[in-house]
Amino acid sequence: MLKTVLAPRFAVPLVLAVLVVGLSFALPSNFYLRVAALVWISALAVIGLNLLMGYAGQVSLGHAGFFGIGAYAVAVLPAQFSLHPLLAALAGALAAGLLAYVVGRPILRLKGHYLAVATLGFGMLIAMTISNEAWLTGGPDGMPVERLTLLGWRVRGADTWYWITGGLLVIGAWIAGNLVASPTGRALRALHDSEVAARVAGIDVARAKLTVFVISAVYAAVAGAALALVNGFVTPDKANFMHSIELVTMVVLGGMGSILGSVAGAAILVVLPQVLTSFHDYEHMVLGLIMMVIMIVLRSGIVPGLASLLTGRRK
Amino acid sequence: MRSTDPLLEVSGLRSAYGRIEALHGVSLQVDAGEIVALVGGNGAGKTTLLRTISGVQPMSGGGLSFAGRDISRASPHARVAAGIAQVPEGRQIFAPLAIEDNLRLGAYLRKDAEIAADLARVYDLFPVLKERRKNPAGGLSGGQQQMLAIGRALMSRPKLLLLDEPSMGLAPVLVDQVFEIITRLNREDGVTVFLVEQNAFAALSIATRGYVIETGEIAMEGKGSDLLADDRVREAYLGV
């Protein structure tokens, strides 16, 4: 019994749930709750991307594109077709998944740098579409997002969104943990290590890659939709190249192939810029320095790095 | 002696890397219950032939049929489902994964209830794997990794086991062990074996029949013991 509870796929969502509940008492003001909600949202997208990068070993430099699709779905669909925001979010997630399925087939045949450039181009295409179709999306200025109402209750306030996004994160981590522990998860780690061996073990490598690409796109779209609803406003910069890079950085910084690492990576890159504002002009320099030091000291990322340091000492 | 319907039939098989053809029309067959060895030097096309049979290397001509079915266009995973399992060259175990996860991946396409029994059988053949089943496979020695690679292939319950250089990089005592296991699998579990080897002596000693491949073509064929006694084979591959 205790052993099943301690298995990573149960332990990780449990740890996160405790973290979400615990922080709600510790955080002193709405400002902190809001920053925490932003961390949970980024972490959700990063968990999805980590399934693709850390487990299956495939890179995507265009994930902000899927994030943008989710965000703009909850902005555009209610405004144009007066769709309920929740249905719009669902439609955004479906659209991102479908698009990932269609572009993933040709793109995922590529490897390494070629895959990186292809996904980069794909992400830019989405960002440009969002920026250029001003009649629909408001163009570079962005557009407002209709407030979410559930059964007549207007969802508002930093604390409410803290709980909703925290809940989404725990659910996302739980699903990801189950996926990783399933035969599909084993197949992903296998093809990461050796595609030839995975093939002769009977794994349909192309299909396994496509599956995880679609799943990671849906994670990004759900996170994008959540961010749009929390902010009440969307801008194209959440779909652009810099945001894709930010997501990839969060994966690597937190730890490839670690779900808790995804949360740690997101937390660092969302919280640190807020903390470092006291350095004024030197803010970005200090942030860059901290990131470099983390990668040099903890080469495999924050969570796996710390874990191996701790177990290493015990031995 | 031979039954009329071979388990694996390779006819006029051609395969190329870009414009360089590596197999110039190879024909051979493996009957159910046999151990067939393919021996030859470096670059003769042994590994290419095996990879073409398992489907990870495209073929450019000729025919390939397994258990009476044409499989020349089947994808690698469909061939595994049909009953072909390959132990790839250089073992290619999944180093960061636990030993047991490696074995379970061998049964990836299976949904039946006997996976646990087959896992027990592999542990029975290779007790060292059971002792360390929770550890990452990368920590195993070369010989143990070879055993894991064979075990992983067995987990798909193959009718035909393809072995690519099982003796490569192993100490002589381990080579004997591995070849003894292969004989046992053939005798006790009824697995048909097609193995490719540079170590011609070890391979031909356990083989029912053998083929000699030279620069992408079959040069000789015969019973394992006959090839071992053949002067040309002895001179070229056995160094006597």
pLDDT digits 0-9 by tens, A111-131: 989 999 999 999 999 999 999
Pull the structure tokens for residue A282: 């030197």
Judged against a pLDDT cut of 60, whether residue A2 lies above it is answered with: no
* Chain A nearest-CA residue for B109: A202
Nearest Cα of chain B lies from the Cα of A195 at a distance, in angstroms, of 9
- pLDDT score, position B2: 47
- Other CB atoms within 10 A of residue A298 CB: 19
Confidence of residue B43 (pLDDT cuts 50, 70, 90): confident
* Chain A nearest-CA residue for B92: A197
Nearest-by-Cβ selection for B80 from A183, A187, A201: A201
- pLDDT score, position A203: 94
More confident residue, A271 or A152: A271
Cα–Cα distances in Å, from A110 out to A106, A115, A116, A126, A127? 8, 5, 9, 20, 22
- pLDDT score, position A4: 61
- A220 contacts A96 by C-beta, under 8 angstroms: yes
Whole-number average pLDDT of chain A: 92
Cα–Cα distances in Å, from B42 out to A294, B39, B47, B88, B109? 47, 10, 10, 16, 34
- B224 contacts B205 by C-beta, under 8 angstroms: yes
Q: How far is it, in rounded angstroms, from Cα B185 to Cα B204?
A: 17
- B190 contacts B175 by C-beta, under 8 angstroms: no
Please give the helix or strand (H or E) that residue B27 lies within, else none. strand B20-30
How many domains are there within chain A?
A: 1
In this prediction, residues A247-273 reach a mean pLDDT of 95
Range of the domain at A39: 2-240
Taking Cα atoms as reference points, which of B162, B206, B164, B209 lies closest to residue B187? B206
- pLDDT score, position A6: 64
A292 in a structural domain:
no
- pLDDT score, position B239: 66
Interface contact A189-B85, CB threshold 8 A: no
- pLDDT score, position B182: 94
In this prediction, residues A254-259 reach a mean pLDDT of 94
- pLDDT score, position A313: 56
Nearest-by-Cβ selection for B105 from A190, A196, A204: A190
A198 in a structural domain:
yes
Q: How far is it, in rounded angstroms, from Cα A74 to Cα A63?
A: 18
- pLDDT score, position A284: 86
Confidence of residue A17 (pLDDT cuts 50, 70, 90): very high
Q: How far is it, in rounded angstroms, from Cα A218 to Cα A133?
A: 23
pLDDT single digits (tens) A81-109:
999 999 999 999 999 999 999 999 999 99
Q: What DSSP character marks residue A155?
A: P
- pLDDT score, position A315: 41
- pLDDT score, position B232: 85
Interface contact A189-B80, CB threshold 8 A: no
Interface contact B92-A196, CB threshold 8 A: yes
- A45 contacts A63 by C-beta, under 8 angstroms: yes
Nearest Cα of chain B lies from the Cα of A39 at a distance, in angstroms, of 30
Percent of chain A residues topping a pLDDT of 70 = 97
Q: How far is it, in rounded angstroms, from Cα A204 to Cα A212?
A: 13
Would you say the ipTM is above 0.90?
no
For chain B, which residues make up each domain, given as ranges? 8-89+158-238
In this prediction, residues B144-168 reach a mean pLDDT of 94
A271 in a structural domain:
no
- pLDDT score, position A244: 96
**A55-59, A274-278, B153-157: segment of lowest average pLDDT:** A274-278
Nearest-by-Cβ selection for B94 from A183, A189, A204: A189
- pLDDT score, position B4: 62
Nearest-by-Cβ selection for A200 from B88, B94, B95: B88
pLDDT single digits (tens) B201-222:
899 999 999 999 999 999 999 9
Which residues from B are below 8 Å from A199, CB to CB? 54-56, 76-77
Residue B213 φ then ψ, to 5°: -110, 135
- pLDDT score, position B210: 95
Which residues from B are below 8 Å from A189, CB to CB? 94, 96-97, 101
Nearest-by-Cβ selection for A197 from B81, B94, B96: B94
Asked: is B8-89+158-238 a CATH 1.10.580.10 domain? The reply is no
Which residues from B are below 8 Å from A197, CB to CB? 88, 92-94
Which residues from A are below 8 Å from B80, CB to CB? 200-202
> Angle between the A241-254 and A30-50 helix axes, to the nearest 10 degrees?
80
Cα–Cα distances in Å, from A132 out to A79, A99, A138, A141, B225? 18, 19, 9, 11, 76
- Other CB atoms within 10 A of residue B173 CB: 8
- A20 contacts A169 by C-beta, under 8 angstroms: yes
- A181 contacts A61 by C-beta, under 8 angstroms: no
- A233 contacts A144 by C-beta, under 8 angstroms: yes
Which residues from A are below 8 Å from B156, CB to CB? 201-202
For B210, the 3-state DSSP assignment is: strand
Alpha helix (H) residue ranges in chain A? 2-6, 8-26, 30-50, 63-81, 85-107, 112-132, 134-137, 158-181, 183-193, 195-200, 205-231, 241-254, 259-275, 283-297, 302-314
Q: Between A and B, how many CB-CB pairs are < 8 A?
A: 62
- Would you list which residues of chain B are within 8 Å, Cβ to Cβ, of chain A? 54-56, 75-77, 80-81, 85-86, 88, 92-97, 101, 104-106, 108-109, 152-153, 156
Q: How far is it, in rounded angstroms, from Cα B105 to Cα B215?
A: 35
Please give the helix or strand (H or E) that residue B142 lies within, else none. helix B142-154
Which residues from B are below 8 Å from A200, CB to CB? 54, 56, 76, 80, 85-86, 88, 153
Nearest-by-Cβ selection for A197 from B88, B96, B101: B88
